[in-house]
Amino acid sequence: MYVIKKKCFYFGHLYKKDTTLLNDGHNVLKFETLDKAIKHLESMGVDDKITPQKYTMSGIYVTQWGEYDRPQYIIRKVKK
């Protein structure tokens, strides 16, 4: 099983905790294979591979208030 963590980059006093992607706002979104997790990221427009399991968005990204860089999405293997 795999999950996707979203790592945000905010200025120090505006720290937001990293989050795990949810499927309906309450339950953690889990994937059977790494390939399915990667395909889900691609469907969200996250298509720039940093490392084998770390991705971000390519192209122009407009930061939100207090944010200084685009988020990274990290695929993690978890126990069932």
Percent of residues, the chain, with pLDDT higher than 70: 95
Percent of the chain with pLDDT over 90: 28
Q: What is the overall mean pLDDT for the chain?
A: 85
| pTM to 2 decimal places | 0.81
Rounded CA separation 47/55 (Å): 7
Q: Report the candidate in 25, 69, 18 with the shortest Cα–Cα distance to residue 48.
A: 69
Q: Check pLDDT > 80 for residue 55.
A: yes
What value does the mean pLDDT take over residues 37-47? 90
48 pairs with which residues across the strands? 56
Q: How confident is the model at residue 47 (pLDDT cuts 50, 70, 90)?
A: confident
